[in-house]
């Protein structure tokens, strides 16, 4: 059986916790916004990437020098190698035996893998911020505030004079 004193203590503890959360709320948002800016800058600085994969020809033939090719999936475009001429074809680019060209091709493929990871992190962070924006809007509405639209950046949430308390904890 719960006493009034115990309930009162629980409510006070809850209010302290709520004050703490409210005080700390903006830091995670700014952290994610800065992370999004950093990811965007990394993507901008990444350079040209290659969506293909390395393939070797004559690698297992004795006396023959292995030759590097870059193969792309069927119908796949590449920022470096372009788009297949015919629908349903694949790009196959000869790199050869030149070590410098091979290293450049490997580096471009590696940058593409990095780009994919960064794009996924960027998308996840953007989605988390969108969800947070929705929840923050609901937070204001729950407390009886009218939230300005995104095209009203100079406006602040305003108390709704018609707000009534309609829920219990």
User: pLDDT tens digits, the chain, 169 residues: what are they?
Assistant: 557 888 888 889 988 998 888 888 889 999 999 999 999 999 999 999 999 999 999 877 888 889 999 999 998 999 999 999 888 899 999 999 999 999 999 999 999 999 999 999 999 999 999 999 999 989 888 888 888 888 887 778 888 888 776 655 5
∠ Cα 31 39 45 (to 5°): 145
In the three-class reduction of DSSP (H, G, I as helix; E, B as strand; rest coil), residue 158 is classed as strand
The secondary element (H helix, E strand) that includes residue 20 is helix 4-24
- What is the pTM (predicted TM-score) of this model? 0.78
Kindly state the tokens that stand for 57: 């020809």
Tokens 């050869």 belong to which residue? 96
User: Other C-beta atoms within 10 Å of 39: how many?
Assistant: 20
Kindly state the tokens that stand for 66: 């292995």
Are 50 and 109 in contact, with CB atoms under 8 Å apart?
Answer: yes
Q: Is the dihedral of CA 156, 159, 160, 166 positive or negative?
A: positive
pLDDT at position 132, please?
Answer: 92
In the three-class reduction of DSSP (H, G, I as helix; E, B as strand; rest coil), residue 157 is classed as coil
pLDDT at position 165, please?
Answer: 67
């Amino acid at each position: 059986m719960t006493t009034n004193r115990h309930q009162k203590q629980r409510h006070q503890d809850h209010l302290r916790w709520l004050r703490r959360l409210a005080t700390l709320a903006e830091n995670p948002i700014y952290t994610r916004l800065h992370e999004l800016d950093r990811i965007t800058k990394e993507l901008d600085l990444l350079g040209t990437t290659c969506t293909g994969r390395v393939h070797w020809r004559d690698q297992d033939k004795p006396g023959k020098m292995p030759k590097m090719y870059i193969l792309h999936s069927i119908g796949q475009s590449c920022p470096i190698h372009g788009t297949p001429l015919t629908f349903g074809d694949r790009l196959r680019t000869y790199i050869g035996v030149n070590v410098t060209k091979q290293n450049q091709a490997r580096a471009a493929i590696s940058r593409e893998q990095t780009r994919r990871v960064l794009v996924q992190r960027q998308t996840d962070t953007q989605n988390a911020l969108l969800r947070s924006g929705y929840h923050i809007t609901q937070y204001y509405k729950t407390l009886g505030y009218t939230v300005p639209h995104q095209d009203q950046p100079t406006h602040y949430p305003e108390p709704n004079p018609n707000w009534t308390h309609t829920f219990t904890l």
